[in-house]
A and B are shown apart, each in its own frame.
Chain A
Amino acid sequence: MKYKTDVVVIGGGAAGMAAAYRAKKEGVDVILLERDEDTGGVLNQCIHNGFGLQYFKKDLTGPEFKEYAKERLEDIEILFGTYVLEVRNDRTIIFVDRRGIHEIETKALVMATGARERHFNSLPVPGKRITGVFTAGLAQRFINLENLKPGSKAVILGSGDIGLIMARRLTLEGIKVEAVLEIMPYPGGLERNVQQCLKDFGIPLYLSHTVTAIEGDRRLEKVIAAQVDYKWDPIPGTEKEFEVDTLITSVGLIPQTKPVDFVETDPGFLVSNTNQTSEDWIFAAGNCTVIFDLVDYVAKEGEKAGKYAAMYAKGEYKKGKKVKVRKGENIGVIHPIYIDPTQESTLYIRVSKVFDRANIKVLPLDVEVIEDEARPPEMIVVKLKPFDENIDEIEVMADELISKLG
């Protein structure tokens, strides 16, 4: 079948739902492609609360957030069970579903394809590739959607939010969590999750620790961990053994950019403040650009992408001028990396080290933000007004604020 539309959105998670909703609101035709049988993406399995405080002004669980977002999509054509095979630069999209192979001719595209989990097998850890090793997201899916129990005693590698949330979830379901290991000297997730997922249940967190080997015959029997030095090399004599049948890994997410292979990526889509990629007609939002801390940020970005994609389709927004945003001193992540100075922008920043009091500056703009206890895992949001189009480059940097005495 051949379709024709103004805006195609690929991916029906938090970013894609928001993009489709907003594009439609701008008065254009929208088709949303979702590979699953329902929208929501990972929200469906994130049954914990803490979502939506900024976006819906309510404390919601993942499934509730999804339902709130989905209720706004009633007059949008959503094609479920679809898999996009190809995005061509002549603005056609080829996808497959149970009925066969189809083609969509579109004016603009929003990529909202999210991220995939990095797997344990991609880490250089010796040992057989035995059963009992799960990514946190997979274990979460088993427990929260499929009513399956992954094991009975577990170690969690990685203290990102998914790892922390899973520590609590496993504990509540009667699976003993022996330890959470974190290679960095500070926790990878939000402070509140360290409190409510680990401290609440007395689960030990070993900072500067990693898994050095796994043992077992068919099923995991033992996880060997050790403390690491500043180069992440295990320190001899610090080994600890955990007799567990399950290892849950939460070791990072990788933005998913397939099947678009002709735009700038690193590793996610590189976009501007209007979510435009290096191809004028392709916009991107959410975890396929950079990994966000909060679904609220993802949804806001999705809406913005939907808005500009619709404006592009209507001929109201063209290729914007792009001012490069440079990563200055002590900045680990900056998003977006281009700014169209005629439009407002929201910068998402991760510092690269722990600060008591960080002073974040956007140069040469006169913008300064002070952030207490800034840590790499917690994104700092800075809003910028439109600025002088003659500025070629801006730089974001952070330094420790020396408090003045007296």
Chain B
Amino acid sequence: MSSSQNLVKELTCVRCPLGCKVKIEYTKELEVLNISGNKCPRGREYAIQEISDPHRILVTSIKVKKGKYLLASVKTTDAIPLRLFDEAMKIIEKLEVEAPVKRGDIIIKNFLETGTNLIVTRSVERL
């Protein structure tokens, strides 16, 4: 295969605030040729995933009834495909839990079959 068909993407790894500039060279068939610029293995993983199916941790909030706060923040325990965000938000928008909730409480197990859980990140006491 001639090199002119190879693709290059310069990415900013989002796995941590260091934000390494990772350069990935790959073929149209998504065969990885070279990865550089990453300071740790997570950067390599990130680059490979990024060219095929970018994943992100989803952070948002859900309504809480009878709580000290109106909302509890939630997150997915690991990155989920970015393409599922719209669908995920449509589900989350309808959720409502009753206080108290605690940090780490699982709201949805195996969220959208991604193998990650949707968990509470803010404890909300009952009023």
Interface residues of A (CB under 8 A from B): 44, 47-50, 53, 59-64, 67, 144-147, 172-174, 190-192, 194-196, 200, 293-294, 372-373, 378
Contact = CB atoms under 8 A, between A and B. Distances in A.
Contact of A47 (B17, B56, B121): B121
Contacts of B14: 192, 195-196
Contacts of A195: 11-12, 14
Q: How large is the interface on B (under 10, 10 to 19, 20 to 34, 35 or more residues)?
A: 20 to 34
A172 B21 contact: no
A49 B21 contact: no
A65 to B, nearest CB: 9
B95 to A, nearest CB: 13
Interface in B20-75: 21, 54, 56-57, 59-61, 63, 69-71, 73, 75
Given A47-B73, A172-B85, A194 B12 contact: yes
A67 B12 contact: no
A354 to B, nearest CB: 13
Contact of B59 (A48, A147, A191): A48
B75 A61 contact: yes
Contact of B122 (A44, A172, A190, A373): A44
A49 B13 contact: no
A57 to B, nearest CB: 11
Chain B CB within 10 A, most for which of A48, A49, A147? A49
A59 B89 contact: no
B12 A61 contact: no
B1 interface: no
Contacts, number: 75
Contact of A145 (B21, B70, B85): B70
Nearest to A294: B17
Given A44-B122, A200-B54, A191 B70 contact: no
Given A144-B71, A195-B12, A196-B56, 18 more contacts: A47-B73, A49-B57, A50-B17, A61-B59, A61-B75, A61-B121, A144-B61, A145-B71, A172-B60, A172-B89, A190-B17, A191-B21, A192-B12, A195-B11, A195-B14, A372-B21, A373-B21, A378-B19
Chain A CB within 10 A, most for which of B16, B61, B85? B61
A147 B70 contact: yes
B97 interface: no
Contacts of B11: 195
Interface in B74-103: 75, 82, 85, 89, 103
A192 B19 contact: yes
Nearest to A38: B68
Closest 10 CB pairs of A and B: A63-B122, A47-B73, A192-B19, A191-B12, A61-B121, A191-B19, A192-B14, A147-B70, A195-B12, A196-B14
A59 B18 CA distance: 12
